[in-house]
């Protein structure tokens, strides 16, 4: 009889807790659906989707796509100088020009990419394809030996 009482007590406790457990599970599922997804492609990169074929062709459709970001030429140049000891030639465009910066990982040779930079670098494990948003043409393909900082958000 003691076992029946214990089982009966556990059953009553479970029946009392079950609605609360169901409500909490549903609440958690609803909240997880409301959080933003983590992505390398943010809302500011949306105009850059149309430049992805141009960027892919610039690296010979090789490598693993890492991400894309819309930045001004000034910001890209500052980042290259600060983190990679490289910079764009002054003749490439004005500082306010908007660039779609598309990152790829893989072995890249300067002779097999369009407009390779920096001069003298023959290869790199990473390639940043800089595409002029307004004209949809490749400004440069920057070859890097180490991963750019925040490659997902170049």
DSSP string, 87-151: ---GGG--TT-EEEEEEEEEEEEGGGSSSEESTT--EEEEEEEEEETTTTEEEEEEEESSPPTTG
Domains contained in the chain, number: 2
Q: pLDDT digit string (tens) for 110-129?
A: 999 999 988 888 999 999 99
Whether 55 and 31 share a structural domain: no
- Contact indicator for 125, 106 with CB cutoff of 8 Å: yes
Are residue 66 and residue 2 in the same domain, yes or no?
no
State whether 78 and 149 are in the same domain: yes
| Whether residues 28 and 47 fall in one domain | no
Exposed / middle / buried, residue 62 (Cβ in 10 Å: 0-12, 13-18, 19+): middle
Same domain, 129 and 96: yes
User: What pLDDT score does 62 carry?
Assistant: 94
For residue 43, pLDDT over 60 is answered with no
pLDDT in tens, 60-106: 999 999 989 898 888 888 888 777 666 676 655 677 789 999 999 99
Q: What is the span of the domain harbouring residue 56?
A: 43-153
């Amino acid at each position: 009889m003691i076992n029946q009482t214990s089982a009966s007590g556990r059953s009553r406790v479970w029946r009392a807790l079950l609605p609360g457990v169901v409500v909490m599970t549903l609440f958690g599922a609803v909240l997880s659906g409301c959080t933003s997804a983590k992505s390398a492609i943010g809302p500011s990169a949306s105009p850059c989707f149309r430049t992805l074929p141009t960027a892919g062709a610039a690296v010979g459709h090789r490598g693993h796509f890492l991400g894309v970001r819309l930045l001004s030429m000034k910001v890209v140049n500052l980042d290259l100088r600060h983190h990679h000891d490289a910079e764009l030639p002054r003749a490439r465009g004005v500082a306010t020009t908007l660039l779609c910066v598309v990152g790829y990982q893989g072995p890249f040779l300067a002779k097999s990419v369009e407009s390779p930079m920096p001069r003298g670098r023959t290869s790199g494990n990473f390639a940043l394809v800089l595409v002029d948003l307004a004209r949809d043409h490749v400004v440069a393909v920057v070859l890097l030996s180490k991963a750019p900082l925040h490659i997902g958000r170049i």
